[in-house]
Structure 1
Amino acid sequence: MATAAPEPGEAVEHAGRRAAYLVGGKRLEAGTAAFAEAIAAAHAAHQRPRCLCLVGGVEMYVARLAGLGDGYVVKRMPDTGSHHAPDCTSYEPPPEVSGLGQVLRSAITEDPVTGETTLKLDFAMLKVAGRSKMPTAGSDSDSVASSGTKLSLRGLLHYLWDQAELTRWQPGFAGKRTWGTVRRHLLQAAENKIARGDALRARLFIPEVFAVDQRDAINARRMSQWSQAIAPPGKPQHLMLLIAEVKEIVPARYGFKALVKHVPDQAFALDEKLYRRLGRRFEPALALWGAADDIHMVMIATFSVAAAGIPTIVELSLMPVTRQWLPVEDASEKQLVEKLVGDGRSFIKGLRYNLGAANALASATLTDCEGAAPLLFILPIGVEDDWRYLQVSEPLAPVWLWHPSSEAMPPLPQAACLRTVGACQHADSKRTPKNALLANK
């Protein structure tokens, strides 16, 4: 896959060993010149490479990424992420243990022939005069379509975060995941995604790393992109999508404004109604952000641009993330993620997409254990029957459970390098089954 040059301030993540594929009858490692030539030829010949993470391989397909220098990339076949080895870069947890399972094939449709993914959105990308949308207080998530047939704003943010592999963590990533890296991966993830008939990438604004000596050039590129959201007289106004780190949301001289990092010269306006609903709807996320100095707050929003160049937010959602840009829902998830990172573990952070808070969600999946990848569940207050709660997901892998309201965090499943060869077992075999690493029946 061809890639663009890194931006100033951007780190480059390395995922360890290179993936190997069977392409045209030859075993090739990703990232080599021979591999790039082989997958280009495979695309032209409509051939399917095989990922060699397991004996016999797992079928893949080649997609052309026109937005990345006419490069090519090997991608998973739809719904096959859990078929790969846990330590493979193509592995993803079973969709039924995250919010992804609810929206696959309905809100998210991937075409292996064209390499394009069509996204169905439940929020507007055209401005409706006099209307600012925000979920009512007490709803589980913003703009949620409970049937899963369309992506809410939060669902779209979670999807892009997953596609950008920003939910993955390995010890080698430490110190390398900067905003420049986050931006680059998100933009690549948006390539070949179609939403409401348009290319998602063209409508997506993610602030580039700000540098004082490049201020004029950065502002010019921003206004060039925003120009498509300025409505000609008498015509509908297209909305842009913003993904950025929030600096603060405060009263302005007139109304309210959101200040985002790396855009020091321009605030985003929002009206009082939206501001008031924001405080009610996202109270837990805002409380976590306010209480922990090492939490970043990521915002996804639709916004319009006035003829004078002033952006106004129409609809938004918020997502707290750790200093490693790993999403967390609450203090318990933050504690778990910090433990995993501190212990040097490799894992994939689970995301809720459109799912409500009452639905079971694997907070993380460990990818450094032998055999099946253990699923880590944090059980909410009030849940007494572990398996009745987890029955929604029907996990096929070992399961670790934690009741943070009534116990300290149980020992985590040991990494392969710390254990003898054999079945993945809990470090403390004398604990009760409630807190042990459980093999689902």
Structure 2
Amino acid sequence: MDSAGRRAAYLVGGRRLEAGSLEFAEAIAAAHAAHQRPRCLCLVGGIEMYVARLAGAGSGHIVKRMPDTGSHHAPDCPSYEPPPEVSGLGQVLGSAISEDPATGETTLKLDFAMSRITGRSTVPTGGGESDSVASSGTKLSLRGLLHYLWDQAELTRWHPGFTGKRTWATVRKHLLQAAENKIARGDSLRSRLFIPEVFAVDQRDPINARRMSQWSQAIASPGKPQHLMLLIAEVKEIVPARYGFNAVVKHVPDQAFTLDEQLYRRLGRRFEPALALWGAADDIHMVMIATFSVAAAGIPTIVELSLMPVTRQWLPVEDAFEKQLVERLVGDGRSFIKGLRYNLGAASALACATLTDCEGSAPLLFIVPAGVEDDGRYLQVSDPSAPVWLWRPTAEAMPPIPRVAGRPRAAGSATRAEAAAAGP
């Protein structure tokens, strides 16, 4: 999707083909029809993949990694992903997220409603949304679903070649692609997902017509449960209105999303750290995921929501320390994958980033929260061969980052793992 740098090569039908080559699309279509499995050639011997058919207009085929094999690929391979146990993905994979290579469909179990009878609005209090309780991984919270789609859209990946190219149009395109072939509560996730298209004044009428056509499925019918839509958008402001409060999102200038006072008050308490970061840093975007209903008059009302701050590169960050690390990596021209928490509580160990431009194994970068005395769990959550970098921001300046493959290391810049191995 959002690719740059190394181009993947596959063994398809006995031929070595690079992704994007003229013969590639035809070859993987033939492999899909013949139920053949391509092999990714990032490592000697190759790694088995499968071909999925994309639905919708302009449908085609895509090569995807087999479930639970992302960490088996070379770190600089587009199919590589960090070991599941160092992110929130490990908790929900196989339970809340079930991928079927035979059909190319992924079934998602959600812990929030996609239909309703009453008019009650809520901020999530379980399913990973509470910072004080480690949640079950059997269902995805709203935040967990947003993190999953962000991962699937490859918006957690960064390469220097992406600089200046990741716009809202790019984000939207990749999120919609990521939602294809995803089933939630027996229905297509893509059909319920509304992501505002880039607004243009001269296209106002057709844009509004497309929006209302999609929203029509969420207008209540007498005697039937009301379907809810799923919104992913950048928040512009959340402000008092004549009645209740309005959430104004970018690229929808002529239609605010209403929310009641109870939801607004709980929003301020639950997401205080995220809102504080958003308010303190002008270069932070605030992404909202929400379920919403639509009144007969066409007015959308938010039922449940979650917030996710992201950098100007649309890379998610939880706090100022993560922002500092991500900005350092981007500024240094590094390639990496940003880790996401999914349903995990704030106390759980999480690799903030995984470097994909180093020699050998991909280094895992951890930020140790204040008050954590024993950092042993950060060294034990992953493959022992993977280098681990630790930063305790409340006690020290940021340590040197592991070097890029082939780039000389400055004097005194040993990684934390190397320093520990060398002894006092």
* TM-score normalized by the length of structure 1: 0.92
Moved more, 47-56 or 381-390: 381-390
Question: What residue identity is the alignment partner of 1:299?
Answer: M
Provide the rounded CA distance (Å) in 2 between the counterparts of 1:429 and 1:210.
Answer: 47
How far residue 435 of structure 1 moved from its aligned partner, in angstroms, is 8.8
Distance 1:319 1:118, change over 3 A: same
Counterpart residue number, 1:115: 104
How far residue 414 of structure 1 moved from its aligned partner, in angstroms, is 0.3
**1:390-416 CA distances to partner (integer Å, 9 max, x unpaired)?**
445566410000000000000000001
**1:342-367 CA distances to partner (integer Å, 9 max, x unpaired)?**
00000000000000001000000000
Contact 2:6 2:77 in 1 (8 A): no
Question: What residue identity is the alignment partner of 2:394?
Answer: S
How far residue 427 of structure 1 moved from its aligned partner, in angstroms, is 5.9
Counterpart residue number, 2:175: 186
| 2:146 maps to which of 119, 134, 157 | 157
Contact 1:99 1:353 in 2 (8 A): yes
Counterpart residue number, 1:312: 301
Counterpart residue number, 1:248: 237
SS at match of 1:257: strand
Contact 2:365 2:390 in 1 (8 A): yes
1:167 aligned to 2:151?
Answer: no
Counterpart residue number, 1:131: 120
How far residue 17 of structure 1 moved from its aligned partner, in angstroms, is 3.1
Counterpart residue number, 1:7: none
Alignment map for 1:192-207 (pairs within 5 Å): 192-207=181-196
**1:295-332 CA distances to partner (integer Å, 9 max, x unpaired)?**
00000000000000000000000000000000000000
Moved more, 59-68 or 46-55: 59-68
Counterpart residue number, 1:8: none
How far residue 428 of structure 1 moved from its aligned partner, in angstroms, is 2.3
Counterpart residue number, 2:327: 338
Contact 1:97 1:361 in 2 (8 A): yes
Contact 2:2 2:174 in 1 (8 A): no
Question: What residue identity is the alignment partner of 1:188?
Answer: Q
How far residue 267 of structure 1 moved from its aligned partner, in angstroms, is 0.1
Contact 1:352 1:361 in 2 (8 A): yes
| 1:278 maps to which of 263, 267, 270 | 267
Provide the rounded CA distance (Å) in 1 between the counterparts of 2:5 and 2:282.
Answer: 30
Alignment map for 1:401-440 (pairs within 5 Å): 401-419=390-408, 428=412, 433=416, 436=419
1:65 aligned to 2:54?
Answer: yes
How far residue 127 of structure 1 moved from its aligned partner, in angstroms, is 1.6
How far residue 437 of structure 1 moved from its aligned partner, in angstroms, is 7.7
Provide the rounded CA distance (Å) in 1 between the counterparts of 2:211 and 2:234.
Answer: 16
Provide the rounded CA distance (Å) in 1 between the counterparts of 2:372 and 2:183.
Answer: 39
Provide the rounded CA distance (Å) in 1 between the counterparts of 2:7 and 2:418.
Answer: 36
Aligned residues: 421
SS at match of 2:406: helix
Distance 1:164 1:143, change over 3 A: farther
How far residue 380 of structure 1 moved from its aligned partner, in angstroms, is 0.2
Counterpart residue number, 1:379: 368
Counterpart residue number, 1:176: 165
Provide the rounded CA distance (Å) in 1 between the counterparts of 2:243 and 2:131.
Answer: 26
Counterpart residue number, 1:52: 41
Question: What residue identity is the alignment partner of 1:373?
Answer: A
Provide the rounded CA distance (Å) in 2 between the counterparts of 1:50 and 1:201.
Answer: 29
1:86 aligned to 2:75?
Answer: yes
How far residue 32 of structure 1 moved from its aligned partner, in angstroms, is 1.7
How far residue 383 of structure 1 moved from its aligned partner, in angstroms, is 1.1
Counterpart residue number, 2:352: 363
Provide the rounded CA distance (Å) in 1 between the counterparts of 2:136 and 2:281.
Answer: 34
SS at match of 1:67: coil
Contact 2:379 2:388 in 1 (8 A): no
| 1:104 maps to which of 73, 93, 98 | 93
SS at match of 1:245: strand
Question: What residue identity is the alignment partner of 1:173?
Answer: F
Distance 1:438 1:319, change over 3 A: farther
How far residue 388 of structure 1 moved from its aligned partner, in angstroms, is 3.4
Distance 1:280 1:395, change over 3 A: farther
How far residue 16 of structure 1 moved from its aligned partner, in angstroms, is 2.0
Question: What residue identity is the alignment partner of 2:412?
Answer: D
Provide the rounded CA distance (Å) in 2 between the counterparts of 1:437 and 1:164.
Answer: 36
SS at match of 1:222: helix
Superposition misfits of 4+ residues, deviation over 3 angstroms: 139-145, 388-396, 433-439
Distance 1:42 1:335, change over 3 A: same
Distance 1:326 1:191, change over 3 A: same
Q: Unaligned 5+ residue runs, structure 1?
A: 1-11, 420-424
1:18 aligned to 2:7?
Answer: yes
How far residue 131 of structure 1 moved from its aligned partner, in angstroms, is 1.9
How far residue 389 of structure 1 moved from its aligned partner, in angstroms, is 4.7
How far residue 136 of structure 1 moved from its aligned partner, in angstroms, is 4.6
Provide the rounded CA distance (Å) in 2 between the counterparts of 1:120 and 1:136.
Answer: 17
Contact 2:226 2:293 in 1 (8 A): yes
